[in-house]
């Protein structure tokens, strides 16, 4: 049997059925109208934010990177819990507005911003994280034509990356941000234009589980921010330290020691140079805040055997949970945490693979893992589904359509 990833803390059972915030998933499926269904836990999200606030220095603001999960009820919940939001498109800006979030709490990063996106963001009071000199000039021209003083920051492409990160966002040639040596000249150009100078955004990598590597990158980020601010010639008003904190998905993964990250960052804050003395700092997190608070539920519609292997065929699949299928940047496929939700506290009886309903061998949600014996009508649960699930998967593939979503 191949091992499954670790089921996150906070899930329980009611009469043998998986429960989210104390509610059996069978009841949640009934209230949502069926499967496939993503369920997001308010209780687990609140607990994660509380834990993070306790661990981090009080000076550090927390932003939600909504690319992880842009479900409108989730955005409204986070509006009560975080200090700001980070978006990556005009479409996400529209979602922020739909959720009733004050756009002055929002920053906008990402290469390839269209002129219409820049204009909408400038008019709304969003902070633009500039990704190139060309983007800076377009933003300044659009703002001048509108008679608005834009809120502008610079996304820096650092000379380092986050060691052990699942996705490296800095170091070397990158489409993201402006190479560090070119930043001071552009910063002076922005300041001299009369725009509201909002500082730097420095993001080196994501999905790291090593607390010391995260802390080392944060220290490098602070050092780079100080150097660039000195070369710019003005104190730095704001610095986004990026994110990078991951969650355990696979067998053997261990959660980040968030207390250690916070303690080491506090030590860095205690020895900041004068140019950063009054700087406002934030981190932007998505996956870490919501990933473990989500579970994907699909119903078994068929059970079959082929050459001695058992396949549990569900009404869901990779069109909703692309990452769990191993087709979202994973080099070697490993099993996400998974369970038979309707037999949650039962013993393992057999080896089986959980697959979806698509006509492709890639549609596999759990590969040769140990489960209680399950039959058509049972429900499977794929955990760590709160981030990069519903919105990061090809829901239109083969005309299957999107999954339902529910915040409890």
For residue 207, what pLDDT is reported? 84
**pLDDT > 90 in the chain, percent:** 92
For residue 331, what pLDDT is reported? 64
For residue 165, what pLDDT is reported? 46
Read off the pLDDT of each residue in 69-92 and give the average, rounded to a whole number. Answer: 98
Give per-residue pLDDT as tens, 287-311.
999 999 999 999 999 999 999 999 9
What are the structural domains of the chain? 12-40+291-407 (2.40.37.10), 70-285 (3.20.20.10)
For residue 171, what pLDDT is reported? 57
On average, the pLDDT of the chain sits at 95
Give per-residue pLDDT as tens, 183-210.
999 999 999 999 999 999 998 877 899 9
Q: Does the structure show a pLDDT above 90 at 96?
A: yes
For residue 190, what pLDDT is reported? 98
For residue 327, what pLDDT is reported? 87
For residue 164, what pLDDT is reported? 52
Residue by residue, what is the 3-state secondary structure of the chain?
A: CCCECCCCCCCEEECCEEEECCEEHHHHHHHHCCCCEEEECHHHHHHHHHHHHHHCCCCEEEEEEHHHCCCHHHHHHHHHHCCEEEECCHHHHHHHHHCCCCHHHEEECCCCCCHHHHHHHHHHCCEEEECCHHHHHHHHHHHHHHCCCCEEEEEEECCCCCCCCCEECCCCCCCCCEEHHHHHHHHHHHHHCCCEEEEEEECCEECECCHHHHHHHHHHHHHHHHHHHHHHCCCCCEEECCCCECCCCCCCCCCCCHHHHHHHHHHHHCCCCHHHCCCEEEEEECHHHHHHHEEEEEEEEEEEEECCEEEEEECCCCCCCCCCCCCCCCCCCCECCEEEHHHCCCCCCEEEEEECCCCCCCCEEEEEEEECCCCCCCEEEECCCCCCCHHHCCCCHHHCCCCEEEEC
Confidence of residue 168 (pLDDT cuts 50, 70, 90): very low
Give per-residue pLDDT as tens, 352-406.
999 999 999 999 999 999 999 999 999 999 999 999 999 999 999 999 999 999 9
Give per-residue pLDDT as tens, 22-45.
999 999 999 999 999 999 999 999
């Amino acid at each position: 049997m191949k091992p499954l990833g670790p089921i996150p803390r906070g899930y329980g059972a009611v009469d043998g059925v998986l429960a989210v915030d104390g509610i059996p998933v069978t009841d949640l499926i009934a209230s949502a109208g069926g499967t496939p269904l993503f369920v997001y836990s308010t209780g687990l999200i609140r607990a994660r934010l509380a834990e993070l606030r306790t661990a981090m220095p009080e000076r550090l603001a927390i932003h939600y990177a909504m690319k992880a999960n842009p479900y409108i009820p989730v955005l409204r919940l986070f509006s009560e819990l975080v200090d700001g939001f980070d978006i990556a498109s005009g479409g996400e800006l529209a979602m922020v507005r739909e959720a009733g979030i004050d756009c002055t709490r929002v920053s906008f990063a990402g290469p390839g911003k269209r002129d219409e996106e820049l204009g909408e963001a400038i008019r709304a009071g969003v902070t633009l994280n500039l990704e190139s000199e060309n983007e800076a000039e377009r933003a300044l021209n659009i703002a001048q034509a509108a008679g608005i003083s834009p809120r502008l920051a610079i996304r820096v492409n650092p000379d380092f990356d986050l060691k052990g990160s699942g996705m490296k966002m800095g170091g070397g040639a990158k489409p993201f941000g402006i190479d560090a040596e070119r930043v001071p000249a552009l910063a002076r150009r922005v300041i001299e234009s009369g725009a509201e100078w909002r500082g730097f955004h420095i993001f080196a990598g994501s999905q790291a589980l090593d607390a010391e590597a995260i802390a080392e990158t944060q220290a490098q980020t602070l050092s780079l921010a100080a150097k660039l601010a000195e070369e710019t010639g003005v104190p730095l008003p704001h610095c986004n330290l990026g994110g990078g904190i991951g969650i355990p998905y696979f067998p053997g993964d261990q959660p980040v020691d968030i207390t250690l990250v916070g303690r080491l960052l506090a030590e860095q804050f205690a020895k900041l140079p004068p140019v950063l003395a009054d700087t406002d700092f934030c981190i932007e997190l998505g996956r870490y805040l919501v990933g473990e608070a989500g579970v994907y539920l699909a119903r078994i519609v068929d059970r079959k055997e082929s050459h001695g292997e058992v396949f549990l065929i569900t009404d869901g699949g990779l069109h909703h949970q692309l990452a769990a299928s191993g087709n979202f940047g994973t080099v070697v496929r490993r099993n996400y945490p998974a369970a038979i939700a309707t037999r949650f506290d039962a013993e393992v009886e057999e080896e089986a693979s959980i697959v979806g309903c698509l006509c492709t061998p890639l549609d596999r949600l759990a590969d040769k893992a140990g489960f209680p014996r399950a039959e058509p009508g049972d429900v499977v649960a794929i955990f760590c589904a709160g981030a990069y699930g519903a919105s990061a998967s090809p829901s239109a593939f083969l005309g299957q359509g999107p999954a339902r979503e529910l915040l409890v």
